[in-house]
Structure 1
Amino acid sequence: MTMSMHRRDLFRAILPLSMGMGGVARAAEPARDATNRDHGVAPSGPFDIVARFDGPGPSGIAVTHGRIFVGFPRHAVNHRGATLAELKGGKLYPYPDVTHSMPSDQPPANRLMSVHGMTTDARGRLWAIDDGKLAGQPLAPGAAKVIGIDPETDRIFASIILHAPTLLADSHMNDLRVDLTHGAQGTVYVTDSSFGLSPALVVVDIATGRQRRVLADHPSIKAERPFMAVVEGRPLVFDPPQHPPAFVWGGVDGITLSPDSTTLYYSPLTSRRLYSIPTDLLADFSKTDVQLAAGIRDLGEKGVADGLATDAKGRIYTTNFEHDAIFRRNADGTFDTMVHDPRILSPDGIFVDGDMVYCTLGQWNRLGGLNGGHDLRVPPYYLIRFPTDVHGPVDTTKPAHG
């Protein structure tokens, strides 16, 4: 009885607001055409197409001394092209040379198998993570490694083989960042997003090759489950074995350093949260997982992201495969939409060079393994770039022009 009275009283209160003269209900004014649309789906933000690739899909990207380097991994499709290439005059050239970058009969430890994430250090040297994986084949000994190349000489100066117990049979060494402020020659941080369900952070001392696997059991490292992502308008659930993976998924994946290398930021691929940890802790091989976990900070949501990158102001750029977009997390924790466009499918590797941001678009969500054996990718694949600062951030609450 009391609930019925409350509902009747509420109806009486609302009724006068919805009635016109003579007690006749009238419809609201029609929405104006200029505002009766979802402004968030319109393309926004300026970007240039740096290159179009008709062959293998691109992943890693790094720019140093005006030179552009792109990685083409072989773990999804064992292609016959270069796995690491320099982009010059619109053409790709195997890098550092044909012997290392093209398929061959050389032992896995002596060549590049499947280059994925890429970065540069504070000295402008190029670094890449070779995940070592060829599609349909087990991970071979010596295949997974950290590679350092000096662009001044175009020679490999560091090749650190990853091995057990740091490397697992289902490891997917995905991305890396290089910190020259810790260790005699620097420290490398690698995300093992895992081809299975065993992700972890990997720490490597450049001078000695000493390496270890950390935080494998921490929630900030693992893929969230159950987890739903909306990709190209399709609601897809990650919750194996009940739901087979239908979108690109994995544990800790995106990784980036603060400009002064004091903080490492990271995020699982199947997650919307951003985490950080002091490099003083992470680079210290004497620290236990318990001690490392005490230094982790949950920085809140940032959307789903594959690649992460930082500019000189400490702002973090996050790719987003749900919204065909790239966002920026500002120093105060607010976000801007930098670019948004239906061509920005599976934004992957991302790199900041001065006042420009570069990003590869690989269409990875369309791979046959995620679509019942049907490869739905449509070349060309793109490498795009956009400025770190434009005349004003995109405001999707305001009517779009046109």
Structure 2
Amino acid sequence: MPLSLTRAALLAACLSASAAFAQQEVPLARTRPLGAIETTRQGIKPVQVAAFPDQRVTGVTVSRQGRIFVNFPLWEDGHRESVAEIVPGQAPRPYPNATWNAAVTDPKAPASPAERFVCVQSVVVDDQDRLWVLDAASPKFMGVVPGGAKLVQFALATNKAVRTILFPDNVAPSKSYLNDVRFDTKRSFAYLTDSGTGALVVLDLKTGKARRVLENHPSVHPEPGFDLAVNGYVLREPDGKKPNFQADGIELSADGNTLYYQALRGRTMYRIGTEFLRNAALSPAQLATHVEKFAVPGASDGYGRDAAGNLYTSGIENNSIHRVTPAGLVSTIAQGPEISWPDTFGYGPNNTLYFTTSQIQTLGKYHGGKSTRTQPYALWKLDLNQAK
């Protein structure tokens, strides 16, 4: 059933103490509960594009020409390249070169973390066909390396870095983990999620200045009481606590007017008008009044969007991919054991949706110190024309 509050009641809740934030309700668009998600009559069969036996892959993006880029965050020992281009029949090619991908222990590595990859979480090609690399700079989640949190722009025609935007401590504090990013090139803004402490980041691409928003709003934090279970197995940290999965999935509408996002440890997709995010004059309470619940696709790590405006979310609870229409209706378009923790999406030519399987649920820390992974990390693609 749709939920609603009068604007006055909502504003009163936002102006109260922080405890009120946890209880506030926001408008809920037409949705279906998780148990009633529609399934397409014939699910799309994913096709494997590349396999990575010993490097956990998270991000993927595709250029207009069909060039495919992925990234491997520095989470575990044995890490090699951070960003790579995928060329059929070849090993992942470090991008743009070995210097950017050099390990800090390499004597040839640049001394400054601003000039090399530290712990890359996401790669995104914008609608101007420029590649951006988001470096959370928190290797093994041990804390942000000073001067390392950044967004680097590469010109695909030359494969050269043309701009680096560094995030200061007040935007990327020590315990933050900048997770994903979307670009509105028409207005020269970008929007990011922080999955470490929970927040959205609004970046003015003209000035390079960024600010954190909605830090105290429930939409960027785990849903109270929610246990994340993958195929029925409940994830717990070694100390017995629930995983600290905050704001993660993010996507922009085609016109750039609406931002969609979600906390990974939760099932609810939220949305907010970007005009409000760009308005720095709004107080946190005023900004909160513009947050809406939009759909309930289930626990998701990443978001994507196709040319028709449909959103795609990763169904990490049950090895699936969901489609969310502009009206907020949810359906399952693919499901199978090979779709093991679908992580990130990249939309490519010919209505093709690429996604990675990072198998985070197999990490040793969730299983008494021993990984349960039995298949390679992988990059897959779906022909969305089959889902019509």
Aligned counterpart, 1:381: 377
> Is the contact made by 2:144 and 2:173 (CA closer than 8 Å) also made in structure 1?
no
Aligned counterpart, 2:268: 273
Aligned counterpart, 2:358: 362
Distance 1:136 1:328 in 2: 31
Aligned counterpart, 2:206: 207
> Is the contact made by 1:368 and 1:375 (CA closer than 8 Å) also made in structure 2?
yes
Distance 1:136 1:215 in 2: 22
> Is the contact made by 1:120 and 1:178 (CA closer than 8 Å) also made in structure 2?
no
1:128 paired with 2:133, answer: yes
> Is the contact made by 2:144 and 2:172 (CA closer than 8 Å) also made in structure 1?
no
Could you tell me which amino acid in structure 1 is paired with residue 303 of structure 2? L
Instruction: State how 1:10-159 maps to structure 2 within 5 Å.
Output: 44-64=43-63, 65-74=65-74, 76-90=75-89, 91-103=91-103, 104=106, 105-106=109-110, 107-135=112-140, 137-159=142-164
1:287-331 per-position Cα deviation (integer Å, ceiling 9, x unaligned): 322232122111131111110011111100000111100010112
Aligned counterpart, 2:307: 312
> Is the contact made by 2:43 and 2:387 (CA closer than 8 Å) also made in structure 1?
no
> Is the contact made by 2:322 and 2:331 (CA closer than 8 Å) also made in structure 1?
yes
Aligned counterpart, 1:187: 189
Aligned counterpart, 1:17: none
> Is the contact made by 2:249 and 2:300 (CA closer than 8 Å) also made in structure 1?
yes
> Is the contact made by 1:188 and 1:204 (CA closer than 8 Å) also made in structure 2?
yes
> Is the contact made by 2:195 and 2:248 (CA closer than 8 Å) also made in structure 1?
yes
Instruction: State how 1:164-179 maps to structure 2 within 5 Å.
Output: 164-179=169-184
How far apart are residue 202 of structure 1 and its match? 0.8
Flag the 1:80–1:228 CA change in 2: closer, same or farther, 3 A.
closer
How far apart are residue 97 of structure 1 and its match? 0.8
Could you tell me which amino acid in structure 1 is paired with residue 181 of structure 2? L
How far apart are residue 249 of structure 1 and its match? 4.7
- Deviating more after overlay: 274-283 vs 98-107: 98-107
How far apart are residue 235 of structure 1 and its match? 3.8
> Is the contact made by 2:44 and 2:387 (CA closer than 8 Å) also made in structure 1?
no
* TM-score between both structures, scaled by the size of structure 1: 0.80
Give SS of 2:145's match.
coil
- Deviating more after overlay: 339-348 vs 286-295: 286-295
Which ranges of structure 2 fall in alignment gaps of 5 or more residues? 1-38
Which ranges of structure 1 fall in alignment gaps of 5 or more residues? 1-39, 393-402
Flag the 1:180–1:303 CA change in 2: closer, same or farther, 3 A.
same
Distance 2:114 2:71 in 1: 18
- Which residue, 232, 236, 241 being the options, matches 1:244? 241
Give SS of 2:365's match.
helix
Could you tell me which amino acid in structure 2 is paired with residue 60 of structure 1? G
How far apart are residue 136 of structure 1 and its match? 6.6
How far apart are residue 44 of structure 1 and its match? 3.8
1:17-68 per-position Cα deviation (integer Å, ceiling 9, x unaligned): xxxxxxxxxxxxxxxxxxxxxxx8x994222101111121100000002100
Distance 1:370 1:216 in 2: 27
Distance 1:66 1:223 in 2: 36
Instruction: State how 1:295-310 maps to structure 2 within 5 Å.
Output: 295-310=290-305
- Which residue, 341, 344, 350 being the options, matches 1:346? 341
Distance 2:76 2:92 in 1: 19
Distance 1:271 1:307 in 2: 13
Distance 1:237 1:368 in 2: 11
Distance 1:287 1:134 in 2: 34
Equivalent residue pairs, number = 342
Aligned counterpart, 1:326: 321
Could you tell me which amino acid in structure 1 is paired with residue 241 of structure 2? P
> Is the contact made by 1:85 and 1:92 (CA closer than 8 Å) also made in structure 2?
yes
Distance 2:78 2:191 in 1: 28
How far apart are residue 332 of structure 1 and its match? 2.6
Distance 2:137 2:42 in 1: 37
Distance 1:176 1:165 in 2: 18
Could you tell me which amino acid in structure 2 is paired with residue 95 of structure 1? Y
Give SS of 1:338's match.
strand
How far apart are residue 78 of structure 1 and its match? 4.2
Distance 1:88 1:122 in 2: 22
Distance 2:387 2:285 in 1: 45
Flag the 1:83–1:334 CA change in 2: closer, same or farther, 3 A.
same
Identity across the alignment (%): 32
* TM-score between both structures, scaled by the size of structure 2: 0.83
> Is the contact made by 1:347 and 1:361 (CA closer than 8 Å) also made in structure 2?
yes
Flag the 1:117–1:331 CA change in 2: closer, same or farther, 3 A.
same
How far apart are residue 379 of structure 1 and its match? 4.1
Distance 1:235 1:250 in 2: 14
Of structures 1 and 2, the one with the larger relative CO (CA 8 A, separation 6+) is: 2
Aligned counterpart, 1:9: none
